[in-house]
Structure 1
Amino acid sequence: MSDIDKRNRLKEEPFTYQITKNGTVAINFKGKQIKIVKDKEAERLIARIKAVEDNILEVQLLLAKITGNFKHGNEKSGKSKRK
């Protein structure tokens, strides 16, 4: 078993991406946009994705790596009501 995805979260395909006309890459996590990659970094990402696009797990791993450590578990989920 690989040390990269021990809990098999990438098999659920949480990341999606969209390549725009001007060459930027918008990365979404469970439907919410979390990062926009531009310029040289976007060109490298697009090339890497096209190289492994037949392997969904590899694409998910690339997207997870490019987003970095964005989710810590302490995010607020909207306005909380105080009573």
Structure 2
Amino acid sequence: MPRPQSFAFTRRADGTALITHHGRSAAVLRDARAARFLAEVEAGDAQWVMARWTGSYKFGNERQARRHPRNRGRV
């Protein structure tokens, strides 16, 4: 699985955290969620943490699997 790239985050003065992916807003975290996110970023790999928090952590063959005959008709 390739390593996530192009994530960035900004700490705002009001205590929120803005996560962007390729320059576009991916998530805005507030209050306790922002504090937990910032603690995880400091403790681990920031790219993986941001990918997990935004839900953009699946990379690979999802599109190909969606077209498989077994999965046709599923949403």
Q: TM-score range by the shorter chain?
A: 0.5 to 0.7
1:60 to 40, 47, 69: 47
Identical columns (%) = 27
* Counterpart residue identity of residue 34, structure 1: A
Q: Of the candidates 40, 50, 68, which is equivalent to residue 48 of structure 1?
A: 40
1:36 Cα offset (Å): 0.2
Quick one: which of 24, 30, 35 aligns to 1:32?
A: 24
Structure having the larger proportion of residues in helix: 2
State the superposition RMSD in angstroms.
2.3
Question: How many corresponding residue pairs?
Answer: 60
Q: CA deviation at 1:51?
A: 2.0
Shift in Å, 1:49: 1.2
Higher relative contact order at CA 8 Å, sep ≥6: structure 1 or structure 2? Answer: 2
What CA distance in whole angstroms lies between the structure 2 residues aligned with 1:17 and 1:68? 15
- Uncovered stretches (5+) of structure 2, i.e. residues with no partner: 64-75
TM-score normalised according to structure 1 size: 0.62
The list of structure 1 runs, each at least 4 consecutive aligned residues, that deviate by more than 3 angstroms after superposition, is none
The TM-score with structure 2 as length reference comes to: 0.68
